Amino acid sequence: MADPEFRATGVRIGKRLRSLTRAGTVRISDGRVELLTSYGSEIDSAPVQAVRASRPWFGPDDRALADLNGKRYLLTLGERDPAPGEPGPPAARRFIEAVHRAAGHRR
């Protein structure tokens, strides 16, 4: 398996008002976007071309929306990228850019 194009750990993943995990993993690898629980079990996955990633209209900068298989997930990543060597999820902006880049969208 190739190295992931994007990987974020410690991500809160929710669906509507329900939290699915508070320390999940978001990974883009081999043309798929995967949402995983803190134990590594799959919440959902889809081909990257079928995934829509965006920022919510209102709310803090650390959130991103991801539509996979007709379901909308709210991802709480980081407000800013952590300093080199520091733990923490990357910025939500980096996730959105990684989905667009992996899907071949031009910005």
- pLDDT tens-place string over residues 61-81: 889 999 999 999 999 987 667
DSSP string, 1-52: -PPPSEEEEEEEEEETTEEEEEEEEEEEETTEEEEE-TTS-EEEEEEGGG-E
**% helix / strand / coil in the chain, to the nearest 5?**
15, 45, 40
d(CA 95, CA 49): 14
Record the tokens describing residue 38, joined without a space: 């803190």
Q: pTM of the prediction?
A: 0.85
In this predicted structure, the answer to whether residue 1 has a pLDDT above a threshold of 60 is no
Reported as a pLDDT band with limits 50, 70 and 90, residue 82 is: confident
Q: Pick the residue with more confidence: 103 or 71?
A: 71
Domain ranges of the chain: 6-105
pLDDT of residue 3: 61
Record the tokens describing residue 6, joined without a space: 């994007």
Record the tokens describing residue 68, joined without a space: 């996979």
pLDDT of residue 18: 94
Of the given ranges (1-10, 22-31, 45-54), which has the lowest mean pLDDT? 1-10
Determine the CATH number of domain 6-105. 2.30.29.30
